[in-house]
């Protein structure tokens, strides 16, 4: 399948589909991380809370980059 062909006859390229999928997964991960961080805070697990904050920052930056990539490519699909 080349870049202009689509999965399951969707009107977007494979690349755009892939970016949207990764973006969705990252956002779900951030949502889960928020819940886990709250649990850790309540349990006094400060080392985990600090690590989770670092992960959140990194993943937020990745989400922002994915949004930029998607914006540049959405009309080209």
**Residue 75 host element (H or E):** none
Whole-prediction pTM value?
Answer: 0.80
Question: What is the predicted pLDDT for the residue at 11?
Answer: 84
**Torsional class of 12: left (φ above 0), alpha (ψ -120 to 50), beta (otherwise):** beta
Question: What is the predicted pLDDT for the residue at 1?
Answer: 47
Q: Give pLDDT tens digits for 33-54.
A: 999 999 999 999 999 999 999 9
Taking 70 as the pLDDT cut, the residues of the chain under it are 1-8, 77
Helix, strand, coil shares, percent, the chain, to 5: 80, 0, 20
Query: How far apart (Å, rounded) are the C-alpha atoms in residues 45 and 42?
Result: 8
């Amino acid at each position: 399948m080349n870049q202009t062909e689509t999965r399951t006859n969707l009107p977007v390229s494979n690349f755009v589909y892939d970016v949207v999928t990764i973006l969705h997964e990252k956002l779900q991960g951030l949502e889960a991380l928020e819940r886990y961080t709250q649990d850790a805070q309540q349990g006094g697990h400060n080392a985990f809370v600090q690590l989770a904050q670092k992960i959140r920052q990194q993943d937020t930056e990745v989400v922002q980059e994915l949004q930029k990539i998607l914006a540049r490519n959405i009309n080209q699909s």
